[in-house]
Amino acid sequence: MQYTPSDLKPRERYKMLASFVLPRPIAWVTTTGPTGVVNAAPFSFFNVFCEDPPLCMFAANRRTDGRAKDTQINIERTGEFVVNMTDEPLAHAMHESSGDFPPDIGEPDYLNLKLAPSTRIAVPRLADAPFAMECKTWKTIDVNGDRILIMGEGIQFHIRDDLWDHDAMRVHMERYHPIGRMFADRYCRTDDRVVFPPAAGANKAPA
């Protein structure tokens, strides 16, 4: 079975991509509105792409009525946001924050999520997030007028103390339980892990 993307409706292309590109990490993005309301919204068309500089990107599509979402509006105004990662204890609140909240109601306040000040930007982070990355807008790309690709440069990292081995510069995987996005209202746990031995080619001397 095969399809040419141009033969599919946008919703059909979305369903196909979201059904097979799995699991996807979730950017739980905090921003600040003009009156100081803190917004928190999850985006699963997201990933990190570079370490020098550390860049991440997520896609913010428009609402069904064509209006831009609060996250996009806030980032365009301030040029700042925080990407908070999600683990199992926060998963339900993350899912609930995907609802259509009005701009004057902040998801962290509504869902009783603790906030903590950022170090280098004004936007606060989620205090209990396993990992948070303070970001400045690096570049935005308009896609067909119905969504924006927002690229951010990470300028400060926050790691929950119990998750990180500072000496080895490694995460304690037995303590970190991230949640991945599947599709619709389906998510996945990541504790069923597979470890492979080094690939044979890694032991070969360079040509």
Domain ranges in the chain are: 5-187
Domain 5-187 superfamily per CATH:
Electron Transport, Fmn-binding Protein; Chain A (2.30.110.10)
Q: Where are the alpha helices (DSSP H) in 1-124?
A: 10-20, 70-78, 88-96, 107-110
pLDDT at 63: 79
The 8-class DSSP code of residue 78 comes to H
Asked if 83 and 29 count as a contact pair (C-beta separation under 8 A), the reply is yes
Quick one: which H or E segment has residue 140? Answer: strand 131-143
Strand 80-84 to 125-126 pairing: unpaired
Longest Cα–Cα distance in the chain: 61
Question: How does pLDDT run along the chain (207 residues), one tens digit per residue?
Answer: 888 888 988 888 888 888 887 889 999 999 999 999 999 999 999 999 999 999 999 999 887 777 888 999 999 999 999 999 999 999 999 999 998 888 889 999 999 999 999 999 999 999 999 999 999 999 999 998 888 999 999 999 999 999 999 999 999 999 999 999 998 889 999 998 888 888 876 555 555
Task: Write down the pTM of the prediction.
Answer: 0.90
The closest alpha carbon to 97, from 190, 26, 3, belongs to: 26
Return the number of other C-beta atoms located less than 10 Å from residue 200's C-beta: 7
128 vs 132: CA distance, rounded Å: 9
Task: Give the type of residue at 127.
Answer: A
CB burial readout 113-134, b (16+ within 10 A) else e? bebeebeebebbbbebbbbbbb
Residue 90 amino acid letter: L
- In order, the DSSP letters of 168-192 are TTEE-TTT--BEEE-STT-EEE--S
